[in-house]
Structure formats: structure tokens, C-alpha cells
Amino acid sequence: MTPKIRLRNVRKSFAEKLVLDGIDLDIMPGTSTVVIGGSGSGKSVLLKCILGLLEPDAGSIEIDGTDILRLPRREQEAIRSRIGMLFQNGALFDSLAVWENVVFGLLAQRRLRRSDGRDRAAEFLAQVGLAASVGDLYPAELSGGMQKRVALARAIAARPDIMFFDEPTTGLDPIMGAVIDGLVVDCVKQLGSTAVAITHDMASARRIGDEAAMIHRGRIVWSGPAAELMDTRNPVVDQFTHGRREGPIQMELRR
Amino acid sequence: MNLILDSLAAVGRGVIGACHVAGSVTVFAAIGLSHLLRPPFYGRLFARALLEIGYFSLPVVALTAIFTGMVLALQSYTGFARFSAESAIANVVVLSITRELGPVLAGLMVAGRVGAAMAAEIGTMRVTDQIDALSTLSTNPMKYLVAPRLLAGIVALPMLVVVADILGVLGGFIVSTLKLGFNVGTYLRNTLDFMQAMDVTSGLVKAAVFGFLIALMGCYQGYNSRGGAEGVGAATTAAVVSASILILAFDYVLTEMFFAR
């Protein structure tokens, strides 16, 4: 079966700093893959390269078997319009009301008339457990958990067939984190999407992921079923998932 | 020897840095303007920017213009009285206001008010991933954020300068007639007789250029801001300073183009 997303030898550096050092990763259709790794390990850069927000220095990024880096810009944009993204801090447009945020993509793609926007937004807000009245508020009037839900509603509104989640539970209390993870799993199942989440929250990784991969020093050092994440013998993964002070990651920090 | 080489290297880095910034601002402007010619067009955002730049800047521009006109009349009187040329005050006021002070002062005031606000708004969007979010929602950030503001700057500043011209001349008229004792009819006739279409037109062209520069620097600095709140603050300052300097520099260039013999 052709992977939904296939990365080969993806490299990216900023000035002298090498962030991605030849990433190879296959993500199969309909699966939820969590990519774990420490702060600054390159997780967000990896997502931004796939999304086209950053251009890799080398390598290939295939979506449904097509290397998007070799396509003309317009075709790249068409493929990337099928990707939904939940940003770490929500990234809601604070000058727009919640309902406008939620249907922003649909309005931009001319798939919805503005006059119908409020009603459609209410449907998406209901899917993430929010009342229609929330649509008239502005992002600054919402709690962190509500902002994440609105951002999730915005990400699913265009019915993307690939969804990215950047640290979906960061900044939330454990209960709200579990709620958001549950919504993420429900939304992905309902849409039948392929999902990629990056996180360093192990509880979140186990809840969201079917598959898991660990990125360390710009490379994928382990990949396998998410259920095996806590039991792997890979010393880097073992240290990270159990939060041990001693191990290869700490030794690297001491240098 | 090392000191000389180090000094030369520092100068070289400065020159290369300045060329890099000039090049990237030019490319940014070209991309922003090109989006004005290609659909989709965001009329609602243009109207909002026009309101922000034009309507909400009216009070500050109006006050600046009227007081400038008043001071100009007063200062001209004290200067010209030394060689009995008081009758030229009306001419000096209308010429100075329409050609120079109207567009330049309106430009500087709008640069401080609107350029800073644009840089802060777009800079905040940059550091909170809202610009990346636009890209993931099938929206080109240059088309959505930059193009409407550039057009609004080009359209709004000339409108403000028309108001500034009228109020500046009015300020001079008030001081000249009420305080300095000039005859109302004579002052008005001198003003209208001396004013030429080119004086006003050149001021309006300058205003359109200044409006473009203010919006360009506000958008450019905000779009390229980095590093959280501190980065947004730095972008805001840079937007105001760079727009102000460019206004003064382009004022000279445009004056040279219009009036140099």
C-alpha cells in the first residue's frame, strides 16, 4: 500500500544549525501517528516542511505517491489545501469572531457563502462540544481549552484528509487535555483522515496514536506501534518516555 | 593592520546588510502590489484598512494641520515684517501647506499612528502562528494582510492631505485675520490667486507615495518580526522610524521631480 505521507532523507538547517538530518518516515492512510521528541528536536520544523511553511534543503516529501516538492506552486497549494492543522497555541485570528475563525477556510475556498457561515460554524462548534452562542465571542474571551476546541473545529471544517496536531494538549490541565485528545480521536475517525500529532506528552501520545516515532538529533531513531512506546528497549525512547534523568539524552546535554 | 581590516569588514557587513534589507523590502513591495492585480480581492479588508488609516487618523492630522498653519502665519509675519513683506504671508502659507507641510506632516503623523499599529498587529500574528494558520487555510498572507493595507495607504493619505491642506490654510487665515489684522477679502484673494493646481497635485501625489511607504514598512516589519513580544516591539519601532525616514527622503526626490528647473 502506498503511504499517505512518505518522507525520504528530509534535511533542513537554519544557518549553521542542522535541525532535520535525513528524516525517513512512512505514514499509512487512516492511521494516527504521534511523533515524540524533546524540545528543539525538530518536530515542529518537520510538520512545517510537510505543510509547505518551510522549504527543506534536501529530500522528498510524497503525499499519495506524489513528490510535492517537485510540483508547481499552484499544485502544491491544491494538495496542501487537503491538510488541516491544529496549532500549538490555537493560532485563532483574534480580530475575527469565533464563527468567522471556524469557517475561515471554507469562505476562503469559496465553498460557503458568508450569509450561511454562522449556521455552519455552529455545526462544527457542536462537534467539539461548544454551544452555538460561542460563535459570537472573540478568541480573547475564551479559555485555553475553549480556544483549542475552536481551533480543532476550524481544522476539521474543510474535511481534510490529512490532519496535523502540534502539541494538542500543551498548556491544558490533565482533564482538559484528555477531553481534547478524545475530540481529536473522534474527529479523525469521523473524517477518516490520516493524522500526525507531535507531542512530548506521553499520556496524549498513547491516547491519540496508533503508530509512534521518536525524533532525536534530527533523525527518526525509533518507530513502531504506539502501544509499545513505553516498553521499547531503545535507550533514547526509554529515557524520554519514562522521563529518566540518566541516559543518552542527558549525556548529550552534558557535553 | 588588523584594526583597519576589522573596520573595513564592519563597513562591508553594514553595506551588505543594507543592500539585503533594501532588496527584501523591494521584493516584498512587488509581491504585495502584484496581489492587487490578481483575484481574489478582499474588499472588506480594504474598507477596514481605509477606515483605520483615513477616518481614525482625521483628528490627529486635522489638529496638526491647523496648528501648523497658525504657527506658520505667525512666524512668517515676524520674519517678513523685518523687510515689509507681510503681504506675502498668504502666499507662503498656501504654498508651504499644499506642497510640503500638508503631505509631510500628515505622513509623519500617520506613520506614528498607523504604521506602528500595522506592525504590531501583523507582528503579533507572526509570533502567534496566525500567519502560518492563514497559509494552511488556503489564504495567501500577502494577499490577505499586505495588499489591502498597501492600497488603503495609497488611497487614504491623499484624502487626509486634502483635509490637512484646507485646515492648514484655514489656520493661517484665522491667525492672519483675527490676530494680525489682515483684511479677510484680501487674504483670501491672495491665497486663491497664488495657489496653482500643481501645488495641490504634487502634494497629493506625495501623499499617495507616503501612504504606500507607511503601509509597506508597517507590513514589512510586522511580517518579518521574530522572537515574541520583544520582537513585535522592535518591529513597531522599526516601522515608524523607517517610514519616517523614507517619507523625508522621498519628499526630496519628489520635490526634485516636480519643481527642479
B89-126 pLDDT, tens digit per residue, is: 889 999 999 999 999 999 999 999 999 999 999 999 99
The answer to the question of residue A5 being in a domain is: yes
In angstroms, the CA A22 to CA B117 distance is: 42
pLDDT band at A252 (very low <50, low <70, confident <90, very high): low
Residues A21 and A64 occupy one common structural domain: yes
The 10s digit of each residue's pLDDT in A183-224 is 888 888 888 889 899 988 888 888 888 899 999 888 898 888
Residues B255 and B171 occupy one common structural domain: yes
Task: Give ipTM to 2 decimals.
Answer: 0.85
Residues A63 and A130 occupy one common structural domain: no
- Whether residues A89 and B128 touch (CB distance < 8 A) is answered with yes
Alpha-carbon distance B92 to nearest alpha carbon in chain A (angstroms) = 45
The answer to the question of residue A141 being in a domain is: yes
Residues B29 and B70 occupy one common structural domain: no
pLDDT band at A251 (very low <50, low <70, confident <90, very high): low
The 10s digit of each residue's pLDDT in B181-204 is 888 998 899 889 888 889 999 999
pTM: 0.87
Is B154 a residue whose pLDDT tops 90? yes
The answer to the question of residue A126 being in a domain is: yes
Among B92, B115, B68, CA closest to B210: B115
Residues B5 and B74 occupy one common structural domain: no
Alpha-carbon distance B121 to nearest alpha carbon in chain A (angstroms) = 9
Residues B194 and B152 occupy one common structural domain: yes
Residues A3 and A78 occupy one common structural domain: yes
- Whether residues A91 and B121 touch (CB distance < 8 A) is answered with no
Residue from the list B130, B138, B139 with its beta carbon closest to the beta carbon of A91: B130
Report chain A residues whose CB lies below 8 A from the CB of B132.
48, 51, 53, 87, 91
- Whether residues B132 and A81 touch (CB distance < 8 A) is answered with no
Comparing alpha-carbon positions, the chain A residue that sits nearest to B39 is A108
The 10s digit of each residue's pLDDT in A104-121 is 988 887 778 888 999 999
- Whether residues B135 and A105 touch (CB distance < 8 A) is answered with no
Comparing alpha-carbon positions, the chain A residue that sits nearest to B128 is A91
Q: pLDDT > 90: what percent of chain A?
A: 27
Report chain A residues whose CB lies below 8 A from the CB of B137.
104-105, 108, 154, 158
Number of Cβ pairs closer than 8 Å across A and B? 48
Pick from A109, A143, A159: which residue ends a domain?
Answer: A159
Structural domain including B134 reads: 42-259
Q: Which of B44, B138, B223 to mutate to test the interface with A (most CBs of A within 10 A)?
A: B138
Q: Which of residues 59-78 of A touch B (CB under 8 A)?
A: 77
Residues B28 and B152 occupy one common structural domain: no
DSSP state letter for A84: E
The answer to the question of residue A167 being in a domain is: yes
Chain-centroid distance, C-alpha A158? 16
Comparing alpha-carbon positions, the chain B residue that sits nearest to A163 is B136
Is A237 a residue whose pLDDT tops 80? yes
Mean pLDDT, to the nearest integer, of A44-63?
90
What residue type is B85 in one-letter code?
Answer: A
Comparing alpha-carbon positions, the chain A residue that sits nearest to B124 is A94
Number of domains in chain B: 2
Residues B236 and B253 occupy one common structural domain: yes
The answer to the question of residue A237 being in a domain is: no
Residues A78 and A1 occupy one common structural domain: yes
Report chain A residues whose CB lies below 8 A from the CB of B125.
93
Residues A65 and A170 occupy one common structural domain: yes
Residues A99 and A155 occupy one common structural domain: yes
The answer to the question of residue A206 being in a domain is: yes
Residue from the list B121, B124, B139 with its beta carbon closest to the beta carbon of A108: B139
The 10s digit of each residue's pLDDT in A81-98 is 888 899 988 899 999 999
Alpha-carbon distance B209 to nearest alpha carbon in chain A (angstroms) = 28
The answer to the question of residue A37 being in a domain is: yes
- Whether residues A91 and B135 touch (CB distance < 8 A) is answered with no
- Whether residues A85 and B136 touch (CB distance < 8 A) is answered with yes
Residues B141 and B19 occupy one common structural domain: no
Q: What is the CATH number of the domain that holds A205?
A: 3.40.50.300
Residues A76 and A198 occupy one common structural domain: yes
Report chain A residues whose CB lies below 8 A from the CB of B133.
85, 87, 91-93
Question: Are A98 and B144 in contact, with CB atoms under 8 Å apart?
Answer: no
Residues A151 and A97 occupy one common structural domain: yes
In angstroms, the CA B221 to CA A101 distance is: 25
- Whether residues A87 and B132 touch (CB distance < 8 A) is answered with yes
Residues A22 and A143 occupy one common structural domain: no
Q: Which of residues 84-143 of A touch B (CB under 8 A)?
A: 84-85, 87-89, 91-95, 104-105, 108-110
The answer to the question of residue A19 being in a domain is: yes
Residues B106 and B20 occupy one common structural domain: no
Residues B28 and B58 occupy one common structural domain: no
Average pLDDT, chain B: 92
Structural domain including A43 reads: 1-82+161-184+192-222
Residues A70 and A178 occupy one common structural domain: yes
Alpha-carbon distance B51 to nearest alpha carbon in chain A (angstroms) = 15
Classify the phi-psi angles of A96: left when phi > 0, otherwise alpha if psi is within -120 to 50, otherwise beta.
beta
What is the layout of strands, in order, in the sheet containing A194-199?
A: A83-86, A162-166, A194-199, A32-36, A211-216, A219-225
DSSP state letter for B38: S
Residue B47 near chain A (CB below 8 Å): no
pLDDT band at B3 (very low <50, low <70, confident <90, very high): confident
In angstroms, the CA A183 to CA A189 distance is: 10
Residues of chain B by 3-state class (helix, strand, coil), percent to 5: 90, 0, 10
Residue B136 near chain A (CB below 8 Å): yes
Residue B121 near chain A (CB below 8 Å): yes
Q: What is the DSSP string of B157-200?
A: HHHHHHHHHHHHHHHHHHIIIIIS---HHHHHHHHHHH--HHHH
The 10s digit of each residue's pLDDT in B44-98 is 999 999 999 999 999 999 999 999 999 999 999 888 888 877 778 889 999 999 9
Residues B12 and B136 occupy one common structural domain: no
Comparing alpha-carbon positions, the chain A residue that sits nearest to B130 is A91
Residues A172 and A71 occupy one common structural domain: yes
Number of domains in chain A: 2
Residues A41 and A72 occupy one common structural domain: yes
Residues B77 and B141 occupy one common structural domain: yes
Residues B48 and B143 occupy one common structural domain: yes
